[in-house]
A and B are shown apart, each in its own frame.
Chain A
Amino acid sequence: MSEPGAQGGIPSLRVQTVLYETAARDVVRFVTGISAACAHALGSGAIRSAELAIGDSSPVPVARGAGELLPGGEGPFTGVAYLPFGANLGSAGGHNRLFEDADTDLVLVMNPDTYASPHLVAELVAGLADRTVGIVEARQLPLEHPKAHDPATGDVSWASGSCFLVRAAVLEATGGFDTDLFFLHGDDVDFSWRARLAGWRVVHRPSATVFHDKRLDETGVIRAGARELEYSALASVLLPWRYSRRDLALERLARLESAGDELSATVASGLRARVDAGEMPDPIDPDHRVGEFVGDDYARHRFSYAGP
C-alpha cells in the first residue's frame, strides 16, 4: 500500500463493507449511494480511482456474485469484488480480511445499512488534507453519533466504524482491527485509539454526511439487539483493561456479575475465566494519552440515545 500524503498525488480509494444476512436489495441500495459519491469524487478530482469490496459473513451468501448486487453495472468502480467468507468473521475480522487485498491509498470502511451522500467521499478526502489526520469520520443522519468533537479542529476520541476513511499508512501502522479481542463492538474505538497512539489524529467531519439506518423506538431511544448488547458488554471490560484502566475493568466486570440478567452473567463468566487464566490483553497507553472513559462511554457525549 502507498501513502498519498507523502506522494502528494490524487489518492486511489477502496470502499469496503461486510455483510451478515443483509437483504440483497439493501446491498443494492448501499451500492447506489456509494456509487454516486465515488462518481462525484472522481469528477471533482478528489480521488483518481475507486474500487469496491463486499465481504459476506452470512451462513448462506447474500448473492451468487457481484453482478447481482450491481444491477446498473460497475459504474464508477474500476473493480468490484464480492467475497463470501464461508464463516462469520464479524465486522472486525471481515474488514481485516478485505484489508489484505487492498492496494489503494485510502480505504473507506462502511456499514451496509448506510447510504452515502453525493459529497461523502470528496468531503472525507478533504478531511485528510492535513497530513497529521489518519482517520476521518463521517457525520451520520438522521441520528448523529452523540460523542463530542472539537468544533474548531474536528478532533474526536474515536471514529465510528459505520463510516470512516482511513489512510493505508494507518492500517499498516496498526494492523487493522484487533480481531483477537473484538468481533463486533469496540473494535473501532480500539482501532482509533491505537492509530492515535501511533501519532495520527482522528477527526470528525460534519460536512461528510452519510445516512445510517438507525431507528428510534416510541420513547425516542435507539434499542440495541441482543448481540449488540453482548459485544458491547464485552468491550466495556476489554477496553479499559487494554488501556491501563484495570481498576475500571474490574469494576465493570463486577457490575456485570451482579447485574442479574442472563446475558450479563454469560459475558461476565467468560471474562472472569480469561482474567483468572491470565488471558486478558497486555495493557497499553499507561499514561492515558488516548484512552478516555466517561461514564459508560469512550468519549464525552453531547447527549445520550439510551435515555433522558
Chain B
Amino acid sequence: VSAALSATTEAFLELLRRRRCSPGSVIVDLGAADDGVAGRGPAGVGSATRALQAAGFATIGIAADQQSAERLTAVGAEVVMGDLSKPDDVFADVVLVLGERHVAAVWLRDLPARVPDMGALVRAAHWFGEQTSAPLVLGVPNVTHVDVATRLLLGRWEPGQGGVSDDAHVRHFSPASLRPAMLALGWAEIDAADVEHEGGAVEAGERERSGVDAAFLERTTPVGAELAALRDLAGPEGHAEYLVRIYEPVMPAPVDADADGRALRAPFLSVLVRTQGKRWGTLEEALLCLAAQTCDDFEVLVMVHDPEGDATSRTEGLVAEFHPSFSGRVRVVEVAGGGRCRPLNEGARMARGRYLATLDDDDLVFAHWVETMREAAEGAPWHAIRVVVGTQQVEATQGSGPPDVGYRVAGRPRVDYPLTFDYVEHLRDNLTPNNGYAVPRSLVTDLGQGWDESLPVLEDWDHLLRSAAICGVESVPTVAAMIRVWANAENSKTLHTSEIWEETRQRIVAQLDAVPLLLDRGYMSKLRALVGRISAAEKLEQRNEELAADVGRLTGELADSERRREIADEAVDALKTARDDLQQRLDDVLSSRSWQLTQSVGKSVGRARRWAKAAEEIVRDRRGGDGRKEG
C-alpha cells in the first residue's frame, strides 16, 4: 500500500476506530474496484481493500464488469455485480449479500466527485443506512485547498489524474458546501479526519513550485505566507487535500430557500452590549443612548456575563421598560464562563446584523452613532468603520439610590483620540476604544476574526488591528461616542497591573509579527514620511550628541585655561611682590650695613628666580595650546 493512498484509507479507519467499530464487521467499499486503476490512485490495484482487511474488516466491493470482479476477488473482497448509475439496485443487492452481518460503514472514496448523479448515490446509501444502521464515510478532494486557490489566483488549472484536478471529476467539494449538501440528502456529519497529503493536485502543485507560481506557493515568502494566512482565516481546512467525513442518517433537512432574502432583511448593525449586571444605572443609560438613535436599523444583544442572582431577569425587566419599538430589537443573552471577550464572540455568533459594534455597560453614544456608521459603511462596503470617541472623567459617589446615581461627572468631555484612523499610529498604542468602531459581522463569524479570549485587556486594540489589516478602515472624523474614565472606581485600568498590560501588549505584537502585515493603499507615503521623520530625528540626535561633546570639551578647556590664568596671575603677583621687595631691599642697601644686604638680597633673588621659572613654564604651555593662532 503506497503511503499516498494509505492516507485516506488510514483516515477512514481512524474514524471507524473512534466509533469503536468492531473488526469482523463489513465495509461496503463502493469505490474499491477503481483503486489503483487508470490513475484513480497512485497505489496498486486493490491496495486499499487489502489495507481494510489488514485492519480486520471484511469488504464488499461493487464490480461493473467481470474484469473488475476478478480484481476484487483476487484481493479477497466479496463482490456485488452492479452499475453505480443505478445505486438503488446496487444497495438492494448488497443487502442480499450481507445477510445478517453487521456493517461498519459505507465507504465512498472519491466516487461522489466522479458519478454524474451524486444525489442518487447518496440517497440510496441513506436507504441502506436506515436498513442497516451503517454510517456513511465520504472521502472527497477539497477544492478550497490553499494551493489550489493560489494556483487559480494565478490562472493555473491543469486537469490531471488524481486529486481535485482529476479530469474524471464532475463535481467539486468545499468544507462549507459539503455539510449542508449532505444534510439535504439526509446525512448529518458527526466526525472528520481530513487528510493533508494525499498526493493529488497538491503534489502536482509541489512539483510545479519551480514555475511562475513558486513564490506564491512557498510558505516562507511574504506573498506565500500572506495567502496561507488569508486562507487560514476562512477555516482550518485550507491545508486539507482530502475531506474525510463520517455521517449518520437523519431526516433530510429542507433547503432554506429564503436564506438570501433573510440576509437582505438583516439590520445594518448588531450592537453587543457587554455587562455583568452590576452597573444598573449606567447600563440603563447605555440602552437609553441606543433607544434614542436617529437610525433604528440595528439590533441589540445585551450579553449578561456570569450573572449573579437575578441579574439576567432584572436586565430583561430593564429592557422591557423601553418602548416596544426599541425593546423589540433587543435580546438579553446570558453567557457563562470565559474572559471578557467571551460575551462578544457569543454575541457575534447570535447576531444578525451586517456589522458588529460593541458597547460596555458604562459607555455612551451620541444620537448619530449608528447613522454615522451606516452612512460610512454604505460608502465603503466591507470596511471597518471608525468614529471618534470622546472621554469624560467621572467620579463614583456614595449614593445608594435615587436621586443619586452613584457617580458624578467631574469634567468636560475631551477629544484626545485622533480624528482619523492611521494603522501605523495604532501600532504604537490603542487609539480607538471599543465603542469607536464596527466591523463586518462576516469577518468575525466567517473568517474567525473574533475577539481573542485569552487577552485580559486590550482586546479591542488587537481586534481592530487584525480587522483593519483585512478590511481597511473607513474613518469618520465625527465625535459619535464617549467613554467614561472612572477616577475612583474599579475599571480595567485598576483591575490589572501595569505588568499585565505590558505583557498583553507584547503578546499582541508577537501575534501580529507572526504573519505578514497587509497595509491599505496610501501607506507607502505614510511609512516613507514616517521613516523620513525618524531618520531626521536620528540625525538631529546625533548632531545633538556631537554638540554636547563639543560643549563638554570646550567647557573643560575653558576651566583648564582659567586655572592656568589664575596660576599665571598668581605668578605675576608674586613677581611683582618680589620686585617690590627687591626694590625695598635695594633702597635699604643705600642706608644699611653690608651684612644685612648680602643676606636679604640672596633670599629675594632666589624667590624671584623660582617665580620667573614658573611663569616661563606657563607662558610656554599657553603658547603650545594657542599654537595655531601664533602659527
Determine whether the beta carbon of A36 is less than 8 Å from that of B322. Answer: yes
> Contacts A151-B408, A216-B479 given: A32-B323 contact, CB under 8 Å?
yes
Contacts of A127 in B (CB 8 A): 403
Residue of B nearest to A114 (CB): B292
In this complex, the member of A36, A123, A144 whose beta carbon has the largest number of chain B beta carbons within 10 angstroms is A36
Segment touching A, from B302-310, B332-340, B413-421: B413-421
Determine whether the beta carbon of A142 is less than 8 Å from that of B364. Answer: yes
> Contacts A72-B325, A142-B366, A143-B413 given: A220-B292 contact, CB under 8 Å?
no
User: A209 contacts the other chain (Cβ, under 8 Å)?
Assistant: yes
**Which of B366-405 touch A at CB < 8 Å?**
366-368, 388, 390, 397, 402-405
User: B461 contacts the other chain (Cβ, under 8 Å)?
Assistant: no
A to B CB contacts below 8 Å, 19 in the list: A26-B294, A29-B294, A32-B325, A35-B323, A115-B288, A123-B403, A126-B402, A142-B285, A142-B289, A143-B413, A144-B409, A206-B403, A207-B404, A208-B403, A209-B284, A215-B479, A216-B413, A218-B415, A218-B479
Residue of B nearest to A122 (CB): B402
Q: Report B's interface with A, CB cutoff 8 A.
A: 281, 284-285, 288-289, 291-292, 294, 318, 321-326, 364-368, 388, 390, 397, 402-405, 408-415, 419, 477-479, 482
> Contacts A142-B289, A220-B415 given: A123-B325 contact, CB under 8 Å?
no
Contacts of A35 in B (CB 8 A): 323
Contacts of B288 in A (CB 8 A): 115, 117, 141, 209, 211
User: A205 contacts the other chain (Cβ, under 8 Å)?
Assistant: yes
User: Which A-B residue pairs are the 4 nearest by beta carbons?
Assistant: A115-B292, A118-B321, A207-B402, A211-B292
> Contacts A211-B292, A218-B477, A218-B479 given: A303-B402 contact, CB under 8 Å?
no
User: Smallest distance from the beta carbon of A263 to chain B beta carbons, Å?
Assistant: 25
Contacts of B318 in A (CB 8 A): 118
User: A40 contacts the other chain (Cβ, under 8 Å)?
Assistant: yes
Complex CA–CA separation, A117 to B288 (angstroms): 6
Determine whether the beta carbon of B292 is less than 8 Å from that of A213. Answer: yes
Contacts of A36 in B (CB 8 A): 321-323
* Of the residues A32, A126, A216, A304, contact of B415 by C-beta under 8 Å: A216
* Of the residues A117, A151, A303, contact of B412 by C-beta under 8 Å: A303
Q: Report A's interface with B, CB cutoff 8 A.
A: 26, 29, 32-33, 35-36, 40, 72, 115, 117-119, 123, 126-127, 139, 141-144, 146, 151, 154, 205-209, 211, 213, 215-220, 302-305, 308
Complex CA–CA separation, A139 to B325 (angstroms): 23
Complex CA–CA separation, A230 to B413 (angstroms): 25
Besides A118-B321, A215-B368, 10 more A-B contacts (Cβ < 8 Å) are A26-B294, A33-B323, A126-B402, A141-B289, A205-B403, A207-B403, A209-B288, A213-B294, A305-B413, A308-B412
Determine whether the beta carbon of B364 is less than 8 Å from that of A154. Answer: no
Contacts of A308 in B (CB 8 A): 412
Contacts of A151 in B (CB 8 A): 397, 404, 408
Contacts of A305 in B (CB 8 A): 412-413
Determine whether the beta carbon of A141 is less than 8 Å from that of B364. Answer: yes
Complex CA–CA separation, A303 to B477 (angstroms): 24
Contacts of A302 in B (CB 8 A): 409-411
Determine whether the beta carbon of B415 is less than 8 Å from that of A207. Answer: no
Contacts of A32 in B (CB 8 A): 323, 325-326
Determine whether the beta carbon of B402 is less than 8 Å from that of A115. Answer: no
Determine whether the beta carbon of A219 is less than 8 Å from that of B415. Answer: yes
Complex CA–CA separation, A305 to B392 (angstroms): 12
Determine whether the beta carbon of B402 is less than 8 Å from that of A211. Answer: no
Complex CA–CA separation, A72 to B328 (angstroms): 14
Determine whether the beta carbon of B390 is less than 8 Å from that of A220. Answer: yes
Determine whether the beta carbon of B322 is less than 8 Å from that of A303. Answer: no
Complex CA–CA separation, A42 to B21 (angstroms): 67
User: Smallest distance from the beta carbon of B242 to chain A beta carbons, Å?
Assistant: 56
Residue of B nearest to A307 (CB): B412
Determine whether the beta carbon of A154 is less than 8 Å from that of B403. Answer: yes
User: Smallest distance from the beta carbon of B445 to chain A beta carbons, Å?
Assistant: 30
Residue of A nearest to B284 (CB): A117
Determine whether the beta carbon of B411 is less than 8 Å from that of A123. Answer: no
Determine whether the beta carbon of B412 is less than 8 Å from that of A304. Answer: yes
In this complex, the member of A118, A119, A151, A308 whose beta carbon has the largest number of chain B beta carbons within 10 angstroms is A118
Determine whether the beta carbon of B321 is less than 8 Å from that of A215. Answer: no
Determine whether the beta carbon of A142 is less than 8 Å from that of B365. Answer: yes
Contacts of B284 in A (CB 8 A): 117-119, 209
> Contacts A216-B390, A220-B415 given: A211-B323 contact, CB under 8 Å?
no
Complex CA–CA separation, A33 to B291 (angstroms): 8
In this complex, the member of B289, B404, B412 whose beta carbon has the largest number of chain A beta carbons within 10 angstroms is B412
Residue of A nearest to B407 (CB): A206
User: Smallest distance from the beta carbon of B413 to chain A beta carbons, Å?
Assistant: 5
Complex CA–CA separation, A215 to B364 (angstroms): 12
Contacts of A209 in B (CB 8 A): 284-285, 288, 405
Contacts of B294 in A (CB 8 A): 26, 29, 213
Contacts of A117 in B (CB 8 A): 284-285, 288
Contacts of A211 in B (CB 8 A): 288-289, 291-292, 367
Contacts of B364 in A (CB 8 A): 141-142
* Of the residues B367, B405, B411, contact of A303 by C-beta under 8 Å: B411
Residue of A nearest to B401 (CB): A207
Determine whether the beta carbon of B403 is less than 8 Å from that of A118. Answer: no
In this complex, the member of A117, A305, A308 whose beta carbon has the largest number of chain B beta carbons within 10 angstroms is A117
Contacts of A72 in B (CB 8 A): 324-325
Contacts of B408 in A (CB 8 A): 151, 206
Contacts of B397 in A (CB 8 A): 151
Complex CA–CA separation, A141 to B394 (angstroms): 14
Contacts of B366 in A (CB 8 A): 142, 213, 215-216
Complex CA–CA separation, A33 to B323 (angstroms): 6
Contacts of B414 in A (CB 8 A): 220
Contacts of B388 in A (CB 8 A): 218
Contacts of A154 in B (CB 8 A): 403
Contacts of A218 in B (CB 8 A): 388, 415, 419, 477-479
Complex CA–CA separation, A303 to B408 (angstroms): 12
Residue of B nearest to A141 (CB): B285
Complex CA–CA separation, A305 to B288 (angstroms): 22
Contacts of B289 in A (CB 8 A): 141-142, 211
* Of the residues A118, A142, A206, contact of B404 by C-beta under 8 Å: A206
Contacts of A216 in B (CB 8 A): 366, 390, 413, 415, 479
User: Smallest distance from the beta carbon of B420 to chain A beta carbons, Å?
Assistant: 10
Determine whether the beta carbon of A220 is less than 8 Å from that of B479. Answer: yes
Complex CA–CA separation, A123 to B325 (angstroms): 22
> Contacts A142-B289, A218-B479 given: A123-B402 contact, CB under 8 Å?
yes
Residue of B nearest to A32 (CB): B323
Complex CA–CA separation, A146 to B409 (angstroms): 9
Complex CA–CA separation, A189 to B291 (angstroms): 29
Complex CA–CA separation, A137 to B521 (angstroms): 51
Contacts of B402 in A (CB 8 A): 123, 126, 205, 207
Residue of A nearest to B363 (CB): A142
Determine whether the beta carbon of B322 is less than 8 Å from that of A118. Answer: yes
Contacts of A40 in B (CB 8 A): 321
Complex CA–CA separation, A32 to B323 (angstroms): 6
Contacts of A115 in B (CB 8 A): 288, 291-292
Contacts of B281 in A (CB 8 A): 207
Residue of B nearest to A113 (CB): B367
Complex CA–CA separation, A29 to B408 (angstroms): 28
User: Smallest distance from the beta carbon of A8 to chain B beta carbons, Å?
Assistant: 21
User: Smallest distance from the beta carbon of B325 to chain A beta carbons, Å?
Assistant: 5
